[in-house]
């Protein structure tokens, strides 16, 4: 008998990952490749789908459904059609779902990457056993996915744009003082660069071996802060304080049992970010006892999204079986 298989696709700003799994979620094959800006989305997706078919053939199985997590925001009403700010421009308005549906003649479910990661963490990662969780990815941008009452809050996804500094720095979205513009990897780097442009002496310049402040990244700030550099420590402390304002608002609103932090900045810094963040949350949030809210790192690391994509595929298969 031919084995039924689930297909998962993670479309990010820098890489495209695919995986196949058995219908009970066991990953049977996977691979990833960089998102090539010179390739059209048609070419990239054709390559991804061929790879998936190849992986399925190796298992002598048949793909039954597809789940996709991709850099958002998605268009709820029409689509979803893709218009991702952190992706090559050619992906803008690319009709992702119809393309995959037509190519494979299979049911396809799509969520933005933060939502997919929340699903992945809920079923297989740090969110196992919790009914209500908030997943936050801190990388180039900040994305938020929400599970409430064991269900994904489908329309959620722009929680990076909660206000943490009214009247503060202008965000790419056009608003001021968004958590994303201040606390994402890009935001942390920008605030550090601003400090350095004021002529402040700092280990950060040594680390990037030169005087070009533009080379300073969130990683540079973390390294210098760990080494006790004053300017970097100030920027880092501001980061956890500002994150605590945004996450604190989200926690007050939703009262999750756990806040799960993923993304490159979190993965790199680990407890050096999490511990001061927990302290700042304890200090700032009172309506809900922060002692009853765990603040932890993602359990699946950079695989949260691809696992969430497989959860989406499984869900789609379930729907397919019951409704058709």
Pattern 127-156, its own copies, x by CB under 8 A: ----xx-----------x-x-xx-x-xxxx
Q: Which is nearer to its own copies, 9 or 311 (CB)?
A: 311
Largest interatomic CA distance in the chain: 70
Binding mask 167-206 for its own copies (x = CB under 8 A): ----x-xxxx-x----------------------------
Q: Would you count residue 269 as binding its own copies (CB under 8 A)?
A: no
Q: What is the DSSP string of 46-95?
A: HHHHHHHHHHHHHTTEEEEEEEEEESS-B-TTT---B--TTS-GGGTTB-
Measure the CA–CA gap between 40 and 90, rounded to whole angstroms. 6
Q: How far is the CB of 69 from its own copies (least distance, A)?
A: 17
Any contact of residue 315 with its own copies (CB under 8 A)?
no
Q: Which two tokens stand for residue 121?
A: 């963490």
Query: Is residue 195 within 8 Å of 235, Cβ to Cβ?
Result: yes
Q: Count how many residues are written for the chain.
A: 324
163 interacts with its own copies by CB under 8 A: yes
How many Cβ atoms are within 10 Å of 191's Cβ, its own excluded?
A: 23
* Min separation Cβ 80 and its own copies, Å: 13
Segment near its own copies (CB under 8 A); pick from 118-126, 204-212, 227-235, 280-288: 280-288
In the complex, minimum distance from the CB of residue 78 to its own copies, in angstroms, rounded to a whole number: 12
Among 107, 159, 187, 308, binds its own copies (CB under 8 A): 159
Long-range contacts, 279-288 (Cβ 8 Å, 24+) = 279/240, 280/240, 280/241, 280/243, 280/244, 281/244, 281/247, 281/248, 281/251, 283/244, 284/244, 284/245, 284/248, 285/244, 285/248, 285/251, 285/252, 287/252, 288/251, 288/252, 288/255
Residues 52-91 that bind its own copies (CB under 8 A): 73, 76
Closer Cβ to its own copies, 76 or 197, answer by number? 76
Please name the residue that has the structure tokens 């549906």.
101
| Interior/surface letters 144-163, b for 16+ CB within 10 angstroms, e for the rest | bbbbeeeebbeebbbbbbbb
Does 166 bind its own copies (CB under 8 A)? Our answer is yes
> Measured from the CB of residue 120, what is the shortest distance to its own copies in angstroms?
19
Q: Which is nearer to its own copies, 120 or 256 (CB)?
A: 256
In the complex, what is the shortest distance from the CB of residue 149 to its own copies, in angstroms, rounded to a whole number? Answer: 6
Which of the residues 200 through 259 are near its own copies (CB under 8 A)? Answer: 245-246, 248-250, 252-256
Q: C-beta of 258: minimal distance to its own copies in Å?
A: 12
Q: Which CB, 176 or 226, lies closer to its own copies?
A: 176
| Comparison of 131 and 201: residue with beta carbon closer to its own copies | 131
CA distances from 221 to 170, 192, 233, 266, 267 (A): 21, 7, 8, 13, 15
| Residue numbers at the binding site for its own copies (CB under 8 A) | 73, 76, 131-132, 144, 146, 148-149, 151, 153-166, 171, 173-176, 178, 245-246, 248-250, 252-256, 284-288
């Amino acid at each position: 008998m031919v084995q039924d298989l689930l297909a998962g696709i993670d479309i990010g700003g820098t890489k495209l990952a695919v995986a196949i799994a058995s219908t009970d979620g066991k990953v049977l094959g996977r691979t990833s490749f960089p998102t090539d800006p010179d390739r059209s989305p048609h070419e990239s997706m054709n390559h991804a789908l061929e790879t998936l078919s190849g992986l399925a053939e190796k298992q002598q199985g048949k793909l039954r459904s597809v789940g996709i997590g991709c850099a958002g925001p998605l268009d709820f009403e029409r689509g979803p059609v893709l218009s991702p700010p952190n992706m090559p421009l050619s992906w803008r308005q690319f009709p992702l779902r119809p393309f995959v549906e037509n190519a494979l003649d299979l049911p396809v479910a799509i969520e933005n990457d933060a939502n997919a990661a929340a699903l992945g963490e809920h079923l297989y990662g740090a969110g196992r056993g919790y009914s209500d969780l908030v997943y936050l990815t801190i990388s180039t941008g900040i994305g938020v996915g929400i599970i409430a009452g064991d269900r994904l809050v489908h329309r959620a996804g722009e929680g990076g744009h909660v206000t943490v500094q009214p009247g503060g720095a202008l965000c790419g979205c056009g608003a001021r003082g968004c958590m994303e513009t201040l606390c994402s990897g890009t935001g942390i780097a920008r605030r550090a660069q601003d400090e350095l442009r004021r002529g402040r002496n700092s280990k950060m310049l040594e680390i990037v071996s030169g005087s070009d402040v533009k080379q300073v990244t969130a990683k540079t700030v973390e390294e210098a802060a760990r080494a006790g550099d004053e300017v970097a420590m100030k920027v880092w402390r501001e980061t956890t304080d500002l994150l605590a304002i945004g996450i604190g608002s989200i926690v007050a609103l939703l009262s999750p049992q756990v806040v799960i932090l993923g993304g490159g900045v979190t993965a790199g810094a680990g407890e050096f970010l999490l511990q001061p963040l927990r302290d700042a949350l304890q200090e700032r949030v009172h309506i809900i006892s922060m002692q009853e809210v765990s603040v932890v790192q993602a359990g699946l690391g950079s695989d949260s999204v691809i696992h969430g994509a497989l959860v989406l595929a499984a869900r789609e298969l379930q729907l397919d079986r019951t409704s058709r």
